[in-house]
Amino acid sequence: MIKIMRLDERFIHGQVAFSWTNNLGADCIYIANDEVANDKLRQTSLKLAAPAGVKFFARTIEESKRILNGDKIKKYKVFVIVNNTADALELAKSVEEIRHLNLGNMKKTDSRRVITNSIAVDETDVENIKELVNLGVEVECRAIPTDKRVQALDIL
């Protein structure tokens, strides 16, 4: 069962490893990202950041579409993490169970404007977020689970 999908450019860190995983009751952290899936050293460091006793997987977006729709993953309470809106949209289009996206951390760049303390978006992100909402996905912004849930469209 997919508990939530979070967009966080840092993937796993204190907030993700402890606050979110514990709050969700997740027993599996699943990173859907082509670069991480193809970098064993990065996978090892991210796996070390995951809480003890929590399964860790890192797969490409294409592999993730198949795995997240499969029967084997259903035995876990899965916390899916991506690092960009394009991957989030692609997964939401392909995986029916993804109905909630938490925007957690997207750093400011020259092309991005700040919408919260931890989230900055560009026009492509805005279009992807709108498309996610049109697909029926709740897209909300919170750094940690106890923060007030703010709908992304309300602040774009």
Side-chain half-sphere CA neighbours of 41 within 13 A: 0
pLDDT of residue 49: 94
- Confidence band, pLDDT 50/70/90 cuts, at residue 16: confident
- Sequence-ordered list of residues with C-beta below 8 angstroms from that of 103, at least 6 positions apart, any chain: 6, 7, 119, 129, 139, 140, 141, 152
pTM metric for this prediction: 0.96
pLDDT of residue 29: 97
- Confidence band, pLDDT 50/70/90 cuts, at residue 57: very high
Domains, the chain, ordered by start: 2-155 (3.40.35.10)
Tokens (6 digits) for 59: 């797969």
pLDDT of residue 35: 98
Instruction: Tell me how far apart the alpha carbons of residues 112 and 28 are, in angstroms, rounded to a whole number.
Output: 31
End-to-end CA distance of the chain: 30
| Rg of the chain on CA atoms, in Å | 14
Residues recorded for the chain:
156
- Confidence band, pLDDT 50/70/90 cuts, at residue 129: very high
Dump pLDDT digits (tens) for 61-107. 999 999 999 999 999 999 999 999 999 999 999 999 999 999 999 99
- Confidence band, pLDDT 50/70/90 cuts, at residue 17: confident
pLDDT of residue 146: 94
Instruction: Tell me how far apart the alpha carbons of residues 156 and 115 are, in angstroms, rounded to a whole number.
Output: 7
Contact 43, 65 (CB under 8 A): no
- Sequence-ordered list of residues with C-beta below 8 angstroms from that of 129, at least 6 positions apart, any chain: 85, 103, 121, 139, 152, 153, 156
